[in-house]
A = this chain, B = another copy of it.
């Protein structure tokens, strides 16, 4: 059952990898399709090597840290951060590519939706974000049905298609009739084109690393089970990838980068069906039930792949936040115990990417593979370092210990690990070079900008937190015993919230308690003075003149002068604070009070006391009780005893300690 959870990401790439591979070759003309078996074979070899390499990684680092942990442990901080940046970029592109391809396959089945391509894609991302914010339980069945349906239906299609071919009734794709306007290419261009096709085909490898990040989620024996799952997944991916490629060749699918290059195809009014749709239509008939099943399963598994990124990205964000490389907010769980900040960021960025690239799969694929191979390469290089260190440590053991059979077994396995990961590292670095050369001008340079920028930001964040930590550490300068304090209650008009603030200030028995009013308007000040006497308010009222209608600066100079004259070390400013029942009410109460608090906190010796006043005016407007907020006496008057616990929904949410910021 572990397969479907991790497999959707890796297997879904089969839905676009053969298409992109053949598409690039077709730029050179129909004759170039004869290269495709060789290019596909190269992709398969690479896939085998990568799967074997990741089996080693799982064994050595079963904690689920994946490439980030390997690179950080074995290569140091900068490579670790670079891998993290590459993975973050990758998660974004996993969402964008998977959703774009999913929408492509939906449109292939229902061409009438073509004008809404971007809208549908954005809609799916929003849907996935909402589902994940609500805290989806990773119920295996939800994942299992589409994944197994995808594997099963595509396998059946390949079997049927190849069976028909053997029986002499080979399926024929509708695009087989179209001729292709090919470019004239020189020798170097031919080589580059083949390498570009190989690079695009490598998109079949994306998602293989997912298992290595999920080892802790496996049943025991975790390592063995994870390795088995990985191998199984790799095998299935190879079968589907090669089967689809061969069947597409047999059926004569002509999928063009620009559909207008297909002579005879009405490119202006009709979307080009995906390779999957063309093969399915050729095998089972356009519009047949199996055709729709295959398209639905393909779209579903692609959307699930996008969904897995919404598990991976926030988790990596939280790990980075824990290690001090990302804002701590990414390590905060939301209402439903999910890392909601990370999910929202991923959703927004993915939507942005989809809109900018108009949900165009081919363009997005160009960006995708770079990040994958950056983390593959650094992870593998890290593994090579890891095995070399293991072997070095063994060499340092006493002769006796080395002779034991367990030690000999371990040594053999370390040597084989070194060989496998060296092969993996060489190959992935080579592919990274190929991908870079062939994709750089096709948009991949943006990824080459994004990764170092992200990595630099992460290191900057880390240094920032380190410096803050250093600054607030206890040292010998710490002392207690400030003497003399004064409470200042700011008063605009004599209203109940102010009365409550005065009452609280008096209860705290400050050395001195004053009410202060800034006289912006003289008539208002006179009226306040009169009311003050009428109501016998038991603290003195000080009225400060403000000839220029300023508010903050007269208070600041009053505080300053008061401290100079009376030598108070501590000034506590009391501010009544409205607590509203609905979010939209905050729009209606302006933030001057908050801004004032921010400004006063910059003044030497000042602290701010917020005295809450619960507004329940929503009742008055709607004639119904607003949602209950027990724990706050309604109207907020100071009443003796006893208090209540605030509403459980908010208060019982487990949340870590604040960092006082």
A residues touching B (Cβ–Cβ < 8 Å)? 327-329, 332, 460-461, 463-465, 467-468, 470-475, 477-478, 480-485, 487, 490, 492, 494-499, 502-504, 506-511, 518, 520, 531, 535, 537-538, 548-553, 556-557, 559-560, 563-564, 567, 569-570, 572, 574-579, 585, 587-593, 595-599, 601-617, 620-621, 629, 631-633, 635, 637-648, 650-661
Nearest chain B residue, comparing its CB with the CB of A575 = B660
Given A508-B570, A604-B644: A610 touches B610 (CB 8 Å cut-off): yes
Is A646 within 8 A of B510, CB to CB? Answer: no
Nearest chain B residue, comparing its CB with the CB of A611 = B607
A208 to B: closest C-beta gap in Å: 34
Does the CB pair B507–A563 fall under 8 Å?
A: no
Interface pair A499/B485, CB less than 8 Å apart: no
B661 A590 Cβ-Cβ under 8 A: yes
* Other-chain contact of A654, B461, B551, B642 (Cβ < 8 Å): B551
In the bound assembly, the distance between CA atoms of A637 and B656 in angstroms comes to 27
In contact, B602 and A579 (Cβ under 8 angstroms): yes
B-chain residues with CB within 8 Å of residue A644 when the two chains form the complex: 560, 603-604
Complex contacts, A642 vs chain B, CB 8 Å? 560, 563-564, 604
Is B553 in contact with A638, judged by CB distance below 8 angstroms?
no
Nearest CB of chain B from residue A337's CB, rounded to whole Å: 11
User: How many copies of this protein are present in the complex?
Assistant: 2
CB of A602 within 8 A of CB of B590, answer: no
**What are the 5 tightest A-B residue pairs by CB atom distance, in nearest-first order?**
A589-B661, A604-B643, A592-B658, A601-B612, A467-B617
Rounded to whole angstroms, the CA-CA distance of A277 and B402 in the bound complex is 91
State A612–B589 Cα separation when bound (angstroms). Answer: 24
* B residues near A617, Cβ cutoff 8 Å: 464, 467-468, 471
| Contact of B499 with A589 in the complex, beta carbons under 8 Å | no
Expressed in whole angstroms, the Cα–Cα distance for A329 and B585 within the complex equals 12
- Could you say which residues of chain B place their CB within 8 Å of the CB of A535? 474, 478
User: Beyond A560-B644, A603-B646, is A474–B503 a contact (Cβ under 8 Å)?
Assistant: no
A616 proximity list for chain B (CB < 8 A): 471
- A324 and chain B: residue at smallest CB distance: B588
In angstroms, Cα B577 to Cα A250, docked, is 69
Q: Are A657 and B492 in contact (CB under 8 A)?
A: yes
Q: Is the CB of B621 within 8 A of A463?
A: yes
Determine the chain B residues whose CB is within 8 A of the CB of A613 once the complex forms: 472, 660
- Known contacts A477-B637, A605-B643; 7 additional CB pairs below 8 A are A492-B657, A508-B508, A508-B509, A550-B653, A556-B651, A578-B660, A606-B612
**Is the beta-carbon distance between B610 and A597 smaller than 8 angstroms?**
yes
A551 contacts across to B, CB distance below 8 A? 654-658
* Distance in Å: Cβ of A654 to nearest Cβ of chain B: 4
Which residues of the other chain, B, contact A598 by a CB distance below 8 angstroms? 579
Q: Which residue of B474, B492, B556 contacts A631 across the interface (Cβ within 8 Å)? A: B556
Which residue of B has the minimal Cβ distance to A465? B588
B612 touches A552 (CB 8 A): no
A499 contacts which of B480, B502, B651 (Cβ < 8 Å)? B480
Q: Are A596 and B482 in contact (CB under 8 A)?
A: no
Tell whether A560 pairs with B643 under 8 Å between CB atoms, given A548-B654, A610-B608, A661-B589: yes
> A641 CB to closest chain B CB, in angstroms?
6
A-B contact pairs, 17 of them (CB 8 A): A328-B588, A332-B590, A478-B535, A480-B502, A480-B506, A482-B506, A551-B655, A553-B652, A560-B642, A560-B643, A589-B661, A602-B632, A602-B647, A604-B631, A604-B632, A607-B611, A613-B660
Residue from the list B504, B507, B549, B597 in contact with A656, Cβ < 8 A: B549
With a cutoff of 8 Å between Cβ atoms, the chain B residues found around residue A656 in the complex are 520, 549, 551, 592
* Residue of B with least CB distance to A566: B641
Task: Identify the closest chain B residue to A560 (Cβ).
Answer: B643
Closest to A469 in B: B495
Inter-chain contacts of A475 with B (CB < 8 A): 496
Contact partner of A609 (CB less than 8 A), chosen from B572, B585, B646, B652, is B572
B residues in contact with A592, CB < 8 Å: 332, 655-659
- A481 partner residues in chain B, CB cutoff 8 A: 503, 506
Report the separation of the CA atoms of residues A621 and B609 in the bound assembly, to the nearest whole angstrom. 32
A521–chain B nearest beta-carbon distance, Å: 9
Contact A589 B659 (CB under 8 A): yes
Is A620 touching B499 in the complex (CB atoms < 8 A)? Answer: no
- Bound: A644/B600 CA distance, A: 11
Structural contact, B643 and A559, CB atoms closer than 8 A: yes
- A621 touching B577, Cβ below 8 Å: no
* A507 contacts B589, C-beta separation under 8 Å: no
Contact across chains for B496 and A643 when beta carbons are under 8 A apart:
no
Minimum C-beta distance from A166 to chain B (A): 50
A645 with B556, Cβ < 8 A, contacts A570-B504, A593-B659 known: yes
Judging by beta carbons under 8 Å apart, are B657 and A629 in contact?
Answer: no
CB-CB under 8 A from A332, the residues of chain B are: 590, 592
Report whether B471 and A615 are in contact in the complex, using a CB–CB cutoff of 8 Å: yes
In the complex, what distance in Å separates the CA atom of A468 from the CA atom of B613? 11
Contact partner of A578 (CB less than 8 A), chosen from B560, B603, B661, is B661
Distance in Å: Cβ of A520 to nearest Cβ of chain B = 6
In this complex, which of A472, A494, A633 has the most chain B Cβ atoms within 10 angstroms of its Cβ? Answer: A472
What CA separation (Å) do A572 and B509 show in the bound complex?
Answer: 12
Question: A531: shortest Cβ distance to chain B, in Å?
Answer: 7
- A327 & B575 in contact (Cβ 8 Å cutoff): no
In-complex Cβ contact of A485 among B485, B490, B509, B570 (8 A): B509
- When the two chains form their complex, are residues A508 and B520 in contact, meaning their CB atoms are under 8 A apart? no
- Cβ contact within 8 Å between B572 and A650: no
Kindly list chain B residues whose C-beta atoms are within 8 Å of the C-beta of A328.
Answer: 588-590
Which of A507, A535, A603: most chain B Cβ within 10 A?
Answer: A507
A498 touches B610 (CB 8 A): no
State the Cβ distance, A122 to closest chain B Cβ, in Å: 15
Closest approach, in angstroms, between the C-beta of A507 and any C-beta of chain B?
Answer: 4
Residues of B within 8 A of A641 (CB): 563-564, 567, 569
Measured between beta carbons, the chain B residues less than 8 angstroms from A574 are 607
Cβ distance A445 to chain B, nearest Cβ, rounded Å: 23
User: Is the Cβ of A657 less than 8 Å from the Cβ of B506?
Assistant: no
